Structure 1
């Protein structure tokens, strides 16, 4: 009987417009900045050997308005061969996310792990196309476990705080 009453109250509350369930939506995805440099063309196409490729990631969440956040995935790729730059690509790919009724403790995990996971396949394709259009084989970045990266950063921050607290007690 109590279960029936609880269900009736929940249905009535939702019917009256009181929407308190967590909701997440992707409002838009877009390229904020894209730069491709091929400083040693056309000589680069005569070089022998595979270039060394360095890939750097940065995730930047920002509150835009109530319940709206922008998450920017910045990817910098630099390929070098024979101590010269073969190519360099910088991509800032972002998404606008609507987050309603999401508990405060869940905002950071979503913005730093889940949102980048959603954006990454699109950014990966843009990078591959830019490198291919620059005259090189497409650069296919390996999938990234943003959840594991987020958890390792939390662990590192926790370890760092523990070291500071221990040093303060000594």
Structure 2
């Protein structure tokens, strides 16, 4: 059963819209980079989440996915996606907003962004880059710890 806040209203999270904000694919070594390989390329994945308030109830969540494949010093491809969504959040206490924005909202966006990135690399001539599911809770906790270490008191303000 959903928690009810002091006013008797249930918390609500609504996805208003999802969209590609920026998309890039670089294949600098083509056509040579598309040939058979003796070994699997080294693939690095980067994931970042940011939240931007639009008004009291609406927030834009940006999910940035970056994939880079290399074979030694040769860059095979660089794929970058900035996927965003606008979420309306009502009847949620302010202290509960950060984890909702940085964990639950990107969790809802991730499957769509993952598919776009997989299609992008496949359309670039490579096997689809399928990113494993992401633990956004762990990313959020890591970000909190990093933030706490940069504060003079050792605690976030």
**TM-score over 0.5 (shorter chain):** yes
Q: What are the ranges of 5 or more consecutive residues in structure 1 without an aligned counterpart? A: 1-17
Q: Tell me the CA shift for residue 76 of structure 1.
A: 1.2
CA shift for structure 1 position 125: 0.4
Aligned to 1:4: none
The one of 74, 97, 107 aligned to 2:97:
107
User: 1:42: which partner in 2?
Assistant: 31
Alignment CA distance shift 1:41-1:115 (3 Å): same
- Give the superposed CA RMSD: 1.8
- Name whichever structure is richer in helix by fraction: 1
Structure 1 partner of 2:63: 73
Q: Which residue of 1 aligns with 2:142?
A: 152
Matched residues in 2 for 1:34 and 1:165: separation? 39
Normalised by the length of structure 2, the TM-score is 0.85
Q: Deviations over 1:14-33 (max 9, x none)?
A: xxxx8733211000111111
How far, CA to CA, are the matches of 1:155 and 1:38 in structure 2? 36
Gaps of 5+ in 2: 1-6
- Aligned: 1:30 with 2:19: yes
TM-score, normalised on structure 1? 0.79
- Deviating above 3 A after TM superposition, structure 1's stretches of 4 or more consecutive aligned residues are 155-161
